[in-house]
Amino acid sequence: MASALFLQLIATFSFLLSSCFAGPLSLQSRAVSSSDYDKLSRFEQFAAAAYCPGNSNVASGGKKLTCAAGNCPSVEAADVETVYEFQNSLATDVTGYIAVDKTNGLTVLAFRGSKSVRNFITDVQFPTVATDLCNGCKVSQGFWTSWLEARDGVLAALKTTAASYPSSKVVVVGHSLGGAIADLATAEIKKGGTPADLYTFGAPRIGGATTSSFISNQGLGNIYRTTHKNDPVPRLPPVPLGFVHISPEYYITSPNGVTPTAADITRYSGSINLLGNTGSNPLQLDISAHGWYFNAIGACGGSDFEFRK
C-alpha cells in the first residue's frame, strides 16, 4: 500500500505542475485507423514475446519465436525466427531479441520490460546524463546505461541481418522499461541512416524537451507510443523533474481484461497530453493496467512478473 500511495502522490504532483508547461501541451487528436490498429495489435505481441525466456537465451538465435503463455498468436502464425538474442546483462539485466519475420518482410528488435513493476518504480534513476544522440539530449541515467549495455551487440546484429535481408523493414518494440530502451535504440538506428518504426507500450518518460523533440522529429519512420488508462508507469519520471514524453501518444481507454477496439484508442500529438494518460484520471492509478494492453503483455514473465499494489 505504501508504494501505491507513493505512486499516487508523485503522479498527482506531476499532473498539477504539468499544467504550467504551456508550450508542450497539445489537444490535437484523431481516431485510430484500422491499419494502425492492426499494427498496434501485431507489434504488441512482439513486445509480449520478449518476456518469454526461450526467445532470449541463445545469442546466435535461430529459433522460431513463440509465447508459452499463448499471447502472441499472430507472431506464431507467421514465419518468424530469431537471429540474435541477449539477456541478463551485468549492470542492468537488459534482455531481448532480434527476429526476422519472413511472412511480413520485417526485422523486429524487441526489449523486455522489467519483471516487477514495483522494482522498476523503486530502481528507476531520475537523474539525467548527457548522451551522444544530439546536442543537449539528456536521458535518465538508468535507461541510458541499459541501452549502452546492449548497443554494440544490437547494432552489429542489425547490420548483419540487413546484409542478409536488405528489403526487410526495421521495427523496434518494447513494454515498460523495454519501451524506454526501445526509444533510445530507435533514435540511434535512425541517426545512423536506417529507417525504423517504433512501438512502445506503457513506456516511461526518458528525458527532457530537447530529447523528446529530437526523437519525435527524426523522421525515417513512425512512432506509436501506446498508453493505457490509469497505467502509472507512463506518468514517470514526473514532469516537474523536467521529463516529457515523445510524440505521438496512442491512448487506450478500454478496461483491463478486454481487448481494445479501434474505437477505444485515440491518437494525441504533443509531449504533455492532458487528455491522454498524463491527465486523464490523475488521482487514479491501476498497476494492473500496466500489464494489460491488447492482452496480458507480460504473461510469459511467470510469477516474477507481478502487478500488485
Domains assigned to the chain: 2-301 (3.40.50.1820)
Look at residue 265 and tell me whether its pLDDT is greater than 80.
Answer: yes
Average pLDDT over residues 35-56: 97
For residue 247 the three cell numbers come to 510524440
Pick the most confident of 273-277, 280-284, 299-303. 273-277
DSSP code of residue 174: E
Look at residue 228 and tell me whether its pLDDT is greater than 70.
Answer: yes
Strands 106-111 and 96-101 turn out to be antiparallel
pTM of the full structure: 0.90
Strand extents, DSSP E, 155-220: 169-175, 196-201
Sign of CA dihedral 175, 248, 211, 99: positive
100 pLDDT band, cuts 50/70/90, is very high
Residues in the chain: 309
Query: Given this model, what pLDDT does residue 154 score?
Result: 98
Average pLDDT over residues 288-307: 81
% of the chain residues with pLDDT over 70: 85
Query: Given this model, what pLDDT does residue 90 score?
Result: 73
Give the residue numbers marked as catalytic: 176, 231, 290
* Residue 85, beta-bridge partner list: 97
For residue 73 the three cell numbers come to 498468436
